[in-house]
Amino acid sequence: MPQAIHNQTSRHEAIRELLLSESASTQKFLVEQLNKKGFSVTQSSVSRDLREIGAVKSNHGYSLISSEKANNQIKNNVLGLIEKIQEVGTNLLVIKTAIGSAQQVALYLDNCDWSGIVGNIGGDDTVFTAVSNKTAQRALLNKINYLAASSR
């Protein structure tokens, strides 16, 4: 096994062990803990590792959970970040989120594979969601509102 892959595998295992043994509220905390264990990591590499091992972030920090439970928790967490949705024209939704959460919501919408979504752009607290037409715009608005209400 090449050294880089071995190092990544070892690092993933170390992150899993940390998440199972203690609360990791920030990526900075994980970087510090991994450095103490002898791994030379940066915040960006830890961020990528967390995504690759399927860790999720909640209000309590990062954790590992089963994939079905993870999908439901991610959906509920992300939809809970949405504060307001506004239709603009016939092909755009403007989604207001909690501060610092728009990119997470945009990424979730990108990965949902819901019909009618052309693309998303996430800023700090605003997501622009382009849709294919007025019908898709209305359907997506109703779907997000329904899922957000049922996740609360």
Tens digit of pLDDT at every position of the chain (152 positions): 445 555 888 999 999 889 888 778 899 999 999 999 999 999 999 999 998 887 877 767 887 764 555 566 566 678 888 999 999 999 999 999 989 889 888 988 988 878 899 999 999 999 999 999 999 999 999 998 888 777 66
Return the number of other C-beta atoms located less than 10 Å from residue 85's C-beta. Answer: 17
Question: Where do you find CATH 3.30.1360.40 in the chain?
Answer: 74-151
pLDDT of residue 41: 94
Q: Please tell me whether the overall predicted TM-score, pTM, comes out greater than 0.75 for this model.
A: no
For residue 38, give both structure tokens: 């002898």
Is the CATH number of domain 74-151 3.30.1360.40?
yes
The CATH code belonging to domain 3-64 is 1.10.10.10
CATH 1.10.10.10 placement within the chain: 3-64
Residue 127 contacts residue 117 (beta carbons within 8 Å):
no
Which residues, in sequence order, are CB contacts of 7 under 8 Å at separation 6+? 39
Q: Which residues contact 110 (CB under 8 A, 6 or more apart)?
A: 117, 119, 120
Residue type, 116: G
